[in-house]
Amino acid sequence: MRTAIIRGKELDQETVCDALALFFSSDFLGFEDISPVRLNTADVIIVDLCKAGDGDLHRLRARRAALEAFPRIAIVTKGHRTEIQQAEALGFAYIHFADDPVGTLVKRVRDLGAPRPLSALPDGFSRPMAAAYEKTGAVLEDMHLASITDSPIPVDRSKEGARDLLNVLESDGVHAWLKAVKTHHSPTFGHSLEVAGLAGWFANELGWTRSECLQVTAGGLLHDIGKSRIPLAVLDKPDVLNEAERDLVRKHAEFGYQIIKHRTEVDNETKEIVFFHHELLDGSGYPFGLSADRISLKVRLVTICDLYSALTEERAYKETLSPRQAIAVMNKMDRKIDQDLYRTFRSLILPREGFGRVQRA
């Protein structure tokens, strides 16, 4: 989903509109940029009327016809009667006060134009699969929203989602789950759903306890929470990232540390998954360069699942590897990843280049 955000260029501080770029691919336009061509790819239009000058309003009225085909929201200053009257006169059915919580605006934008997870799920999946897909997708969105608004991370809901996901893996198999999550409209969210499914499935195949399986599944959902501080236009960019964008994406584990290090609702083992899933046993990982004795078994498992998912995911700017090709790449990582875990993972992946059903531990 894309938003077009129209505002004056004289603003010298971040506003609620800037936060939208963390949740939706967003194009920022000036009032002079309004045209059918510039708005063509948008699903929802947001117009910031705060501090809009007379010239801005004149341009907005002159190009009103270009906006009327879209759901649109006006941002106004609470108590500013003129701005509210201008929004109503221009036909904005939805008005958001600039000082209101960003979560309210995000939810409004989603309601107006964002595709719901199930809308992208093709026919042929079981009802439990569809329900788990919708619930875990919603949990992911709420986690990212909580990280931006400093609200509590919905830990209990993530555990419920993890429980439903494990049940689906047992009944339908992980291959069906991976097929389902590849239909998600956001590659970033789809990746977290895939890692969660792989981690829960793999832990169960290893005979870990139900509690341990639930924890790595929930940890998989949360592991990339640091990406909530990176604009979605960068994360889901269809082209090759430039150097500055790559450096920003690489900081997501550090951002994750900053987001949840003091959050008491998240247990320490889950925090380690978030903080350390890009650490490698030989000390060459990031963000802290930890070596083997500092990296727990649960983190090592999620790291393997994260690597495999990244290698096999579909992105326009890179080759999509088959399971066998991904394993060939991981074979070369040697002491960077836990070899005992990896050999078992490889043996489960390669025989059928598919995935069997897990059994409850």
Q: In the numeric block, which tokens belong to residue 183?
A: 């239909």
CA angle at 193 for the pair 188 and 197, rounded to the nearest 5°: 150
Q: In the numeric block, which tokens belong to residue 224?
A: 């990339």
pLDDT in tens, 323-349: 999 999 999 999 999 999 999 999 998
pLDDT in tens, 110-134: 888 755 544 456 677 898 999 999 8
On the question of pLDDT at 359 being above 60, the answer is no
Q: What is the pTM of this model?
A: 0.80
Measured CA to CA, the distance from residue 200 to residue 351 in angstroms comes to 20
- Contact in structure between 241 and 249 (CB atoms under 8 Å): yes
CATH class of the domain defined by 119-349: mainly alpha
pLDDT in tens, 13-31: 678 888 888 888 788 899 9
Whether the ω angle into residue 154 lies within 30 degrees of 0, i.e. cis, is: no
User: Where in the chain are the domains?
Assistant: 2-113, 119-349
Of the CA atoms within 13 Å of residue 250, those in its CB half-sphere come to 12
- Alpha-carbon distances, residue 32 vs 7, 28, 44, 45, 59 (angstroms): 10, 12, 18, 15, 6
pLDDT in tens, 238-266: 788 899 998 999 999 999 999 999 999 99
Confidence band (pLDDT; 50, 70, 90) for 225? very high
pLDDT in tens, 44-84: 999 999 988 889 999 999 988 888 888 999 999 998 989 99
Q: Which residue type sits at 130?
A: A
CATH number for the domain formed by residue range(s) 2-113: 3.40.50.2300
73's CB contacts (< 8 A; 6+ apart) are 44, 45, 46, 47, 92, 94, 95, 96, 105, 108, 109, 112
Measured CA to CA, the distance from residue 221 to residue 219 in angstroms comes to 5
